[in-house]
A and B are shown apart, each in its own frame.
Chain A
């Protein structure tokens, strides 16, 4: 178990005092659930997938029939915004797991094996870290071209160094722990030590960080799509939906307004939760929170 039930329980108890963090948790859960069920609940599924073109229903303002209005192809904006949660969820989960995989592997090798090989790995990591991640993602996305997979690859390639560094720091400190020495003395093989002691004890911070980073992944993917190097139309994705209403902003504000709001609320959820976790894991500030009843 990477994140122990005890930690979960402790954090939940903390959230009971930190209402903003609790709100964040609810928003995040809402986003995940919506991402899973959205294809089955949208009122106009064909509009949502972008398969339709209804000339007679173009650019209608929000009404009871079309809660968020219609876009320039007469598609129901509400359906598209709701279904977009699914694509954002796919992007977020893929980016985070792919970059976790790369980052943890590299950090683990560098931290546990060490030596010249480890230090080369970390130098390379530092070079990637010298780039602002969004810029690196823009560079990769522009070379790879548009498409859902390419967005995921571009973002992951720009993201793994953070996890590599974090894992490296953790592994370096865990491997000097007395219980690791004890295991060595007891004659447990290096692989056994790695899987039984080092991994479980160094993965927690990086996994939590990765989960909280899902909001940032959603936001950066949207930024890529907005400038035209993200997902391909007609895929419903919040950044792309915002850009579809860009030139029409004076005539049909609803096309851009609602996807932006959905994007904002989702990222806000992750940020609130992340902020609460930061306060929770900072012992000095946590003391303050727990002092107030």
Chain B
């Protein structure tokens, strides 16, 4: 019984504690570090009375522990406060922004993993050869590339110089209006297909391509590197050496044995890397004017919109922890040796 209910429950409890801890860290970061939120709330020309009023509204006049209590209780009611910039409830803003980020991150992640895995395995099978060296150079240099820089260069080359791909936005605004497009799930690929707007679907796909490629760089390189290292280790196991000495072709070994052996540890590290991909997508969004959570967080950051900043950071952190939980449970299923 690898992933028993007991294991999942224990894991859920620790996850809950971690999330609570994360919330506490965010709280301390915004309250203890002297940021004087009342000045931001009341504006630069506020009088002393207005500042006092702001302090009262923000509960800054209460002891820290009481502030913490207010913070936690409103959080459990799903109240992340109102954004000072957009004047919407932060949770609403995040709900509309999150699908955009997920669409981008998931697409990039799938592209990256499906290219990186074969590259890593081929590289290990041809250890020391030209292909192996090339893959190693690609995977190491890929993780050194500043993604925001490469995003700019892609825009320069593909939209400004060649003019073959749109340089930003998730959907052509005039087309969207012309078709009366309304998002359902927020995943535009799904939405445009479901509503049967094929033109819009291809527009969305074209716009997704360039940012998703940039997002895919990190998971691609990581997958290639991880699967190469794992495959190299597995190739030295006696049973594989046996198979090779019997003359079993490399592609059969790769498909039947290697993949099976490296999948459990690969899932563990790739799961973690999805979280990183998500954060990478954050910064890439800004370059491509992609209306996701990253763009929302950065715009809020730059306008000192603390409720929005805290809200988005917290949602991502919770999301990230949840991914880790799911990955761990999956890992326990495929690898019976894992115990909590």
Contacts and interface: CB of A to CB of B under 8 A. Distances in A.
Nearest to A259: B149
B229 interface: yes
A284 B232 contact: yes
20 contacts: A130-B320, A132-B276, A135-B279, A138-B297, A138-B313, A139-B309, A140-B29, A219-B146, A226-B146, A227-B148, A227-B286, A239-B148, A242-B152, A249-B155, A250-B156, A256-B149, A264-B145, A264-B149, A282-B229, A287-B236
Interface stretch (A41-49, A202-210, A266-274): A266-274
Nearest to B277: A132
B317 A135 contact: yes
Given A130-B320, A264-B145, A271-B140, 20 more contacts: A127-B22, A131-B317, A132-B316, A135-B320, A140-B33, A143-B29, A143-B33, A223-B283, A226-B283, A227-B283, A227-B298, A228-B302, A238-B146, A253-B156, A256-B153, A257-B153, A260-B146, A260-B149, A267-B146, A271-B143
Contacts of B141: 264, 268, 271
A227 B301 contact: yes
Given A135-B317, A227-B286, A242 B127 contact: no
B218 to A, nearest CB: 11
Highest count of chain B CB atoms <10 Å: which of A227, A228, A271, A282: A227
B232 A249 contact: no
B206 interface: no
Interface size class of A (residues with CB under 8 A): 35 or more
A126 B18 contact: yes
Nearest to B137: A20
B144 interface: yes
A142 B309 contact: yes
Interface residues of B, number: 55
B152 A144 contact: no
B80 to A, nearest CB: 15
A249 B229 contact: no
Highest count of chain B CB atoms <10 Å: which of A132, A264, A278: A132
Nearest to B150: A260
B136 A275 contact: yes
A249 B35 contact: no
Contacts of B152: 242, 245-246, 249, 256, 260
A223 B148 contact: yes
Interface class of chain B by DSSP: helix
A246 B144 CA distance: 20
A128 interface: yes
Contacts of A29: none
Interface of A: 20, 123-124, 126-128, 130-132, 134-136, 138-140, 142-144, 215, 219, 222-223, 226-229, 238-239, 242, 245-246, 249-250, 253, 256-257, 260, 263-264, 267-268, 270-272, 275, 278, 282, 284-285, 287-288, 292
Interface in B224-246: 225, 229, 232-233, 236
A144 B30 CA distance: 9
B301 A285 contact: no
Contacts of A140: 29, 33
Contact of B229 (A223, A267, A285): A285
Contacts of B33: 140, 143-144
A275 B136 CA distance: 9
B26 interface: yes
B284 to A, nearest CB: 11
B92 to A, nearest CB: 21
A127 B23 CA distance: 10
Nearest to A267: B144
A151 B104 CA distance: 28
B275 interface: yes
B25 interface: yes
Contact of A132 (B144, B298, B320): B320
Highest count of chain A CB atoms <10 Å: which of B25, B133, B150, B233: B25
B144 A127 contact: no
B216 interface: no
Contacts of A256: 149, 152-153
A263 B309 contact: no
Contact of A268 (B18, B25, B144, B153): B144
The 4 tightest CB contacts between A and B, nearest first, are A127-B21, A260-B149, A267-B144, A268-B144
Given A127-B22, A268-B140, A271-B141, A222 B146 contact: yes
A215 B144 contact: yes
Interface in B16-40: 17-19, 21-22, 24-26, 29-30, 33, 35
B321 A130 contact: yes
Contact of A272 (B140, B145, B321): B140
A20 B140 contact: yes
Interface in B120-178: 127-128, 133, 136-137, 140-141, 143-146, 148-150, 152-153, 155-156, 160
Given A215-B144, A227-B286, A263-B149, A20 B136 contact: yes
